Chains A and B, each alone.
Chain A
Amino acid sequence: MGSITVTPDPFHLVEFDAAVLRGLIEEVAGSLQIPPTVDISLIVDEALPHPILGCETNLVDGAIDLWCSGGWFESRNKTRAFSERHARGVLTAMLLRARDRLSGGFEDAPADGELTLAERSAWDVYAWGRTDQLGHRVHRQKRLYDFRLQHGFTDAADAVFDRLWTSNSSSWGAIREICAETGAVLRPKAKLPADLLRRGSRH
């Protein structure tokens, strides 16, 4: 049986419970049929509040390595409080991307810190679309706006978004083709590292 670890434990700056998060990860990973032998670690940067949102999903030596800002799990109604609904939603999207990396056509994708913003946003749409199909409350317009920021405010970009949102099967190659189709590959390279938030993290 694989292990599930959550860092920090206990939390000091926010009212989160590591045991609750471990339970959620176990439940979501099980529902997504992630092999139970795979180790999963989640690092939460509790210093980063909503709206400073960032998250990463990588594989390290065959284990799933998750990192996210505490703002993703934070209640919108009470500062520093935990929101199970938001946590469940983002953990589902993150673990869907982990499953993509394990055996879902994304085995040769670079680590999250090396993805371009356009590649990452297209992959996120694919993940959030499936999260929506699983019955979670996902704000489609938010995801569309995020996608437009990286792929353009055009009808062509919107058509690609619709395709990704309803898709049940994609691959790293398809994501790269999408970036060519919307013209995102021609945009200037980002001046900042994609994993800037994580680089400043203490863990």
Chain B
Amino acid sequence: MKRHLNENELARDERFRRNRIEDQIFDPRNVAMSTRDLGPAQMSVDRPAVSERSRSLMHGIFVGEIQALEGAGRTCYDFDDADAPFALKLDMARQCWDESRHVEISCKLSDHMGTDIGEYGESAFLFAAACNPDPVMRLCGVNRALEGLAIDVFSSMKTFGESTEDPILTFCEDWMLADEVTHVKMGSDWLRRLTENDLDRRERALDFQRTVDKVFSLGGFRGESEENPIQITRKFRELAGFSQDECDELAAIAQQAMEDARTMVAAAAASQS
């Protein structure tokens, strides 16, 4: 079996459809949208189009879980024991089991909300973070950045479930959230163990994580202000081994990502006028 698959080699059946990144970036509606009041960024019952927007997010979570499963699965296989200790692979195998369960839960939640598999496009940038050939970098990209984003998303979805008194959404998100804290903790622990005698490598890995975190902040999708749909969840991140300083740094990265996105939109608007 081939090692190190890239995101274009992921197996999908005919229900799935891949988003083309160029379609999203060059969509002429982006500039018009940026000037519009679409209601509060965070999900609430009186947010315009709240049901369809929450369905879209839930589908994104569903495909994200598939890619997290694929990423953890590849880590079990892609490396020799010299590069990645057997105990690490055991942790990744346990994570695969968790992610499989999350995929099933996400399918059931999509049924609950009225979404068909493949109704929304899939972006593969989450899996792209799991393609690094260095296992330490990959752990930082997947377990600390990607799974860290999952903590923030699940916590926000759980809050939405509580606000709408939806017992199914609240319960499911709470259970998945607990698993994600464990996955991030595994990433934090293995990062320290694998780089114990190589601080340069640790710093390179943390640099890679910062890059992934900025990408995953999606130009303001995640942050700590009311303008961000997904809130950074410090309480759970600290449980998962993030220090206070690391949480502060992530908040600053997210803020920078939002400002960069605004600058790009302003430049695009200026070029169109």
Contacts and interface: CB of A to CB of B under 8 A. Distances in A.
Interface string B15-41: 001001001100111001100111110
B48 A196 contact: yes
Given A47-B33, A47-B36, A142 B55 contact: yes
Contacts, number: 102
A107 B65 CA distance: 49
Contacts of B27: 49, 79-80
A140 B114 CA distance: 8
Contacts of A49: 27, 29, 33
B52 interface: yes
A31 interface: no
Size bracket of the B interface: 35 or more
- Give the residue among B45, B49, B165 with the most A Cβ atoms within 10 A: B49
Nearest to A72: B52
Contact of B165 (A14, A51, A153, A200): A153
A8 interface: no
A117 interface: yes
A142 B49 contact: no
Interface string A140-175: 111111101110110000000000000000000000
- Give the residue among A50, A80, A191, A196 with the most B Cβ atoms within 10 A: A196
Contacts of B38: 52, 196-197, 200
Contact of B50 (A50, A144, A149): A149
Size bracket of the A interface: 35 or more
A149 B54 CA distance: 11
Determine the main DSSP class of B at the interface with A: loop
Contacts of A142: 51, 55, 113-115
A76 interface: yes
A145 B49 contact: no
A192 interface: yes
Contacts of B167: 153
B101 interface: no
B47 A192 contact: yes
A139 interface: yes
Given A53-B49, A53-B52, A146-B51, A153 B168 contact: yes
B28 A51 contact: no
Contact of A145 (B24, B29, B51): B51
Nearest to B50: A149
A49 B19 CA distance: 15
Contacts of A119: none
Interface string A40-67: 0000001111111110000000000000
- Give the residue among B29, B37, B45 with the most A Cβ atoms within 10 A: B29
Contacts of A199: 37
A9 B273 CA distance: 21
A51 B56 contact: yes
A145 B120 CA distance: 18
A186 interface: no
A52 B49 contact: yes
A32 to B, nearest CB: 25
B196 interface: no
Contact of B17 (A13, A54, A77): A77
Interface of B: 17, 20, 23-24, 27-29, 32-33, 36-40, 45-53, 55-56, 111-116, 119-120, 164-168
Given A149-B45, A192-B47, 16 more contacts: A47-B29, A48-B36, A49-B29, A51-B52, A51-B53, A51-B55, A52-B53, A69-B49, A77-B17, A79-B20, A79-B23, A149-B51, A150-B45, A152-B165, A190-B45, A196-B37
Interface of A: 12-14, 46-54, 69, 71, 76-77, 79-80, 117, 139-146, 148-150, 152-153, 190-192, 196-197, 199-200
Identify the 8 closest CB pairs spanning chains A and B, nearest first: A142-B114, A47-B32, A141-B114, A190-B46, A51-B52, A51-B56, A146-B51, A200-B36
